[in-house]
Amino acid sequence: MTVPIGDYVGLASVLFFIGVAGVLLRRNPLIMLMSIELMFNAANLLFVAFSRVWAANAGHVFAFLVITVAAAEAAIGLAIVVTVFRAEKNVDVDEVRSLRG
Amino acid sequence: MTAFWVLSVILIASAIWTISARKPVYSVVALLLNFAALAATYLTLSAEFLAVMQIIVYSGAILVLFVFVIALLSSGVAPFAAGPNRLPKAITPAIFVVLAAFGFLYYALKSVTAASIGAAGQAVAPIGAVGTADVFGSVADFGRALFTVWLLPFEVTALILMVAVIGVVLLAGDRAPYVATPRRARQVEREMREAILRGGE
């Protein structure tokens, strides 16, 4: 159990930026939502790792709240995807233009 | 130490698989692997309750929701055609993101390598029986923190979930008022016609 905290920060930032790359590069809204989940999880990993370093369980509570918010976000995002698909028969984020100003 | 490196290889590989898979179902499988590895990482960080929550909430609820939506959207039509490469359009933000990533990594590895998990001098709770209240990260420890110090955020969680439920029903429910599907349009037209007929009596 002597992993430096910097390694956890590095791992979490690699995971976070893989998620950012997924949101930027993919056109499928489902995979974009999954990339957002990857970013949530990277933040959670940092919360848990720093909570372990300082032996304070506030980080665990924060990670719990982040999991809750991620669940709500996934549900609403998927509902929006289903709604857009019903209206347009298409979920490609480059093709769906009805919400642009 | 070994566990950390094995788990981080699994985490990074499955994350890359998630964002690069051709079909969304493969992404879900990769994300399942990622969540399982992350739960194991939580266990190495002595966060037992969060590891179980990770499995139950993410793998049990969120991924199943993804699978349902994929099944719903893929039935009948083929909505996910391969399109043009997005990389030329996204190259400018991608460069900024990569620079920010390396800056963050540099700062992180430069500044906080001194603090080491479980190293000498850090106050880490001793290993004891699982579930005892004074063991760091156990269910009793987490529950006591959640229901005493952090009670208000826990209650706000209930509000967040209720807003999510109402929003989902409003957006994707059967009588969604803001979606002009043909069936809904016909139904509204029939209701209006009946209302006009009733008003004429």
Residues of B in Cβ contact (< 8 Å) with A6: 108-109, 112-113
Residue A81 has pLDDT above 70, yes or no: yes
Counted domains in chain A:
1
Report the pLDDT averaged over residues A30-47. 94
Counted domains in chain B:
2
pLDDT band of residue B18 (cuts 50, 70, 90) is very high
Residues B97 and A17 sit within 8 Å (Cβ to Cβ): yes
Tell whether A48 lies on the interface with B, counting CB pairs under 8 A: yes
Does B25 or B201 have the greater pLDDT score?
B25
Nearest to B45 by CA among A29, A40, A50, A89: A50
Distance CA B58, CA B30 (A): 13
Distance CA B25, CA B7 (A): 23
pTM over 0.90: no
Phi-psi group of B46: left, alpha or beta (phi > 0 → left; psi -120 to 50 → alpha; rest → beta): left
Tell whether A88 lies on the interface with B, counting CB pairs under 8 A: no
Residue A26 has pLDDT above 70, yes or no: yes
HSE at residue B101, side-chain half, CA atoms within 13 A, is 18
Task: Please tell me chain B's helix, strand, coil percentages from 3-state DSSP, rounded to the nearest 5.
Answer: 70, 0, 30
Distance CA A60, CA B138 (A): 10
Residue A38 in domain:
yes
pLDDT band of residue B121 (cuts 50, 70, 90) is very low
Residue A55 in domain:
yes
Tell whether A66 lies on the interface with B, counting CB pairs under 8 A: no
Residues B196, B144 share a domain: no
**pLDDT value, residue A39:** 95
User: Could you tell me the CATH number of the domain that includes residue B15?
Assistant: 1.20.120.1200
Residue A49 in domain:
yes
Condensed to tens digits (0 to 9), the pLDDT of residues B91-102 reads 888 888 888 878
Residue A48 in domain:
yes
Residue B123 in domain:
no
Alpha helices by DSSP H, B1-46: 2-20, 24-44
Q: Chain-wide mean pLDDT for chain B?
A: 78
Burial of A10 from C-beta contacts in 10 A (0-12 / 13-18 / 19+): middle
Condensed to tens digits (0 to 9), the pLDDT of residues B163-180 reads 999 998 888 776 655 556
Residue in chain B lying closest to A76 (CA): B168
Tell whether B1 lies on the interface with A, counting CB pairs under 8 A: yes
Report the pLDDT averaged over residues B25-53. 91
Residue A19 has pLDDT above 90, yes or no: yes
Residues B4, B42 share a domain: yes
Does B84 or B136 have the greater pLDDT score?
B136
CA–CA distance from B6 to each of B3, B10, B37, B100, B190 (Å)?
Answer: 5, 6, 9, 26, 62
pLDDT band of residue B28 (cuts 50, 70, 90) is very high
Residue B123 has pLDDT above 50, yes or no: no
Residues B33, B12 share a domain: yes
Distance CA A4, CA A16 (A): 19
Residue A101 in domain:
no
User: Could you tell me the CATH number of the domain that includes residue A59?
Assistant: 1.10.287.3510
Q: Which structural domain, as residue segments, surrounds residue A67?
A: 5-88
Residue B118 in domain:
no
**pLDDT value, residue B134:** 63
Residue B134 in domain:
yes
Residue A94 in domain:
no
Residues B11, B47 share a domain: yes
Q: In 3-state terms, what secondary structure has residue B116?
A: strand
Distance CA A38, CA B85 (A): 22
Residue B96 in domain:
no
Other Cβ atoms less than 10 A from the Cβ of B166: the count is 11
Report the pLDDT averaged over residues A31-43. 94
Q: Which structural domain, as residue segments, surrounds residue B132?
A: 1-75+128-149
